Amino acid sequence: MSNISGADGADSASGGPPGGDPEAAPHLFRSLRNHRNYQLLMPGQIISGTGSWMQVTAQLWLVLDLTHGSGTAVGITAGLQLLPVVLFGLYASVLVDRFPKRRILMISQAAMGTLALVLGLLTVTGSIRVLEVYALAFGLGLVLALNRPAWSAFTYEVVGPGDVSNAAGLNSATVSMTKIVGPAVAGVLIAAVGTGPIFLINAASFGVMELMLYLMREDELYDRDPVPRAKGQLREGLRYVRKDRDLVMLMTILLLVSAFGMNFAVTDALMSREVFHTEASSFGVVTAMMAVGGLIGSLLSARQRQPSMRVMLVTAAAFSVLVFATGLMPNYWAFAVMQLPTGMAMTAYTTTAYSITQLRAPDEMRGRVMGLYLLVFTGSGPIGFPLIGWLAETFGPRSTLITGGFASLVSVVGTVAFMAPVATRKAEART
């Protein structure tokens, strides 16, 4: 694992200012206490993230209204938003290593705000059709293909190696908080004014994030000079990951668990509307309950001094079991309550996996390694979401959740069982 020695070691080597050593500052909010730039980043994340989750909720509801409750259409919308990440995410991650990440983020935030504005205007004027929702979802995916690896690598530049695990937990907690507030507010606004104004609010929220990025001090970033253009840079990043057994295991499990178990963008909406016959506000409660669990899991992860593979494997297995159990819930409130432990396990798992990947990535190829991580995390979506939507429509959302949870658990156990003997044989060969 990468050196995490703090201000006297890894921070100095990375060319950045003195940073938070987890041994010297074992505080839940040490990233906020130690780094002015992170003090700007977090409120921007809260405001922009809340607007984004409002849009996610409103967009799902808009598609259901336009298609008279089609689960396949919901799956297609979610899949189209992820497709560019799969197609172009690795190539975009090469650009992240070549250009200043703060500049990339400012450009991509402006582009996402523009897309939200267009969606809002089309909806408010009554001109929106499902094909236009598909097109705008794909456009957003194109921007996210560049934004996501840049954002992941930029977190390291803001707080440095000593506090990156803490910042990952706090970032995840921020996402969880916005998932609580955003869908809940969206549910109320959908009932009061419809979906259109929600997209306009989200467009405005990106302006706040732009301001926070602008106000950051470049001389306090833990950045390196951009990597010069050269042939084979993408293959170089892939080779690095392939040689690291823990990263191979981490990304294999992440791919399978996300494919089989993390389909809430489709299943929660269908369970709420088609199985329990609830309104938009109740769907918002389900999403918020998972976010509360995610907030708890995030804060627990933020307290880790150093993430471990053991914690990652245990939380991945626990999440899989909880997804299976969620599909068995007999009524709406039991289903909603089960989102709490499920969200807690899911966020603890993904935050730990994210932190391990950040710390194992060399500075000069962090964008590429995080780009591969994000590709693996979201790569099953373009095929999985439409398929899950069709399966839920054909066999019912319950069957989809139960089958997905079981397949996810088998994936965790099977990957560990397969890779452990391989690692043992390699160690014996070396001796």
- Summarize pLDDT for 312-330 with one digit per residue, the tens: 999 999 999 999 998 888 8
Please report, for the chain, the start and end positions of each structural domain, with discontinuous segments joined by +: 30-221+232-430
Task: Supply the pLDDT for residue 412.
Answer: 92
Query: Is the CB of residue 9 less than 8 Å from the CB of residue 21?
Result: no
Q: What are the structure tokens assigned to 47, written together?
A: 């405001």
Distance CA 150, CA 155 (A): 9
Q: Does domain 30-221+232-430 have CATH number 3.40.50.300?
A: no
pTM above 0.75, yes or no: no
Backbone Cα Rg of the chain: 21
Q: Which of 143, 152, 81 is nearest to 112 (CA)?
A: 143
Task: Supply the pLDDT for residue 116.
Answer: 95
Task: Supply the pLDDT for residue 379.
Answer: 67
Q: How many CA atoms lie within 13 A of 300 on its CB side?
A: 18
Low-confidence ranges of the chain (pLDDT < 50): 1-25, 423-425, 427-431
Residues constituting the chain:
431
Task: Supply the pLDDT for residue 385.
Answer: 65
Distance CA 206, CA 183 (A): 17
Q: How many CA atoms lie within 13 A of 392 on its CB side?
A: 33
Distance CA 218, CA 13 (A): 18
Count the Cβ atoms, other than its own, within 10 Å of residue 348. 28
Task: Supply the pLDDT for residue 317.
Answer: 95
Task: Supply the pLDDT for residue 198.
Answer: 94
Query: Is the CB of residue 6 less than 8 Å from the CB of residue 24?
Result: yes
For the chain, the maximum distance between any two Cα atoms, rounded to a whole number of angstroms, is 71
